[in-house]
Amino acid sequence: MAEPRTSTPAPELVEGSGTHEPPGPEASTGSATGATGSAPRLRVDATADRVVATLDRPDVRNAIDQAMVDELHALCAELEADPRTLIVTGAGGIFAAGADIAQLRERTGDDARRGINATVFDRIRHLPMPVIAAVDGFALGGGAELAYAADIRLGTPRVRFGNPEPGLGIIAAAGASWRLPEIVGHARASELLLTARVIDADEALSWGLLSSVHEPDDLLSAAHAVADRIAANSVRATILTKRALLAPRADHPAIDGELQAELFDSADKRARMTAFLERKKK
């Protein structure tokens, strides 16, 4: 029988930052000044087939505040208009140690009903092309829920996932209650959300929360390797595959036939299959 697994204790709260204090290397900002004169919360690097968005608030452990939410919405608008694979990561050896508690403390019931974080995470989840979360260090609270919104999650040995919201008198209301059961199953999700414990990379990998684990220096390269595999495929077929994956069970199998019908009649399908058959002749 396997030895019982011990959970990682929850890190201490940092007063005023709204995040948790993780161990690890010191972070550097590396952010340029935004158009409004304030430092942007996201560092965005774009190419023809992918975008890397780095959460860049290392002084508060990449806490997700309203300004970051606004920048994520702006990025989503770009990727909805020009679909590309999105890689989301964090600066300074940490993904995101939570939402900004200083802001959360002042939010009201009306703010909760607006679903400030839930709305942007759902928008990320439904981007046309795949979203890859490259997670290093702590992904807690809203940071964990952002990672749950991705299609694929890669991590490092120092990853820590958790939803400590009940300890702060709230619930994980930005996707954890329905996305986490879809990823790891209802029983495991219930354990994490009801106990607020923090799990490490090994447990996250064994549960399927992470697809693979890489050393910190190799994490972004591994995410790009996944993006390379996506880029080698038909863009339209990838978009429609993601659409099928996100469709409710009741829509299947009808939706699969409709999506396939579009692809069967496409020039791209004929060209790719013709190239495949010609390669086989050689």
Note the pLDDT tens digit of each residue in 179-201: 999 999 999 999 999 999 999 99
Q: What is the largest CA-CA distance in the chain?
A: 67
Radius of gyration of the chain (CA): 20
Contact between 10 and 167 (Cβ < 8 Å)? yes
Mean pLDDT score of the chain = 88
Catalytic-role residue among 26, 165, 191, 262: 165
Q: Cα–Cα distance between 203 and 46 in angstroms, integer?
A: 33
For residue 92, the 8-state DSSP code is S
pLDDT of 110 strictly over 70: yes
Section 119-123 average pLDDT: 97
What tokens were used for 10? Answer: 């929850």
Contact between 53 and 79 (Cβ < 8 Å)? no
Among residues 220, 203, 222, 214, which one has the least CA distance to residue 156?
Answer: 214
List residues bridging with 198 in a β-sheet.
8, 162
* 18 Cβ contact partners less than 8 Å away, ≥ 6 residues apart: 60, 63, 65, 98, 99, 100, 101, 102, 103, 104
Residue 78 annotated as catalytic: no
Catalytic-role residue among 145, 182, 215, 258: 145
pLDDT of 12 strictly over 80: no
**pTM reported for the whole predicted model:** 0.86
List residues bridging with 148 in a β-sheet.
none
Sign of the four-CA dihedral 236, 241, 246, 248: positive
Residue 165 annotated as catalytic: yes
For position 5, what pLDDT does the model report? 40
Q: Cα–Cα distance between 106 and 8 in angstroms, integer?
A: 29
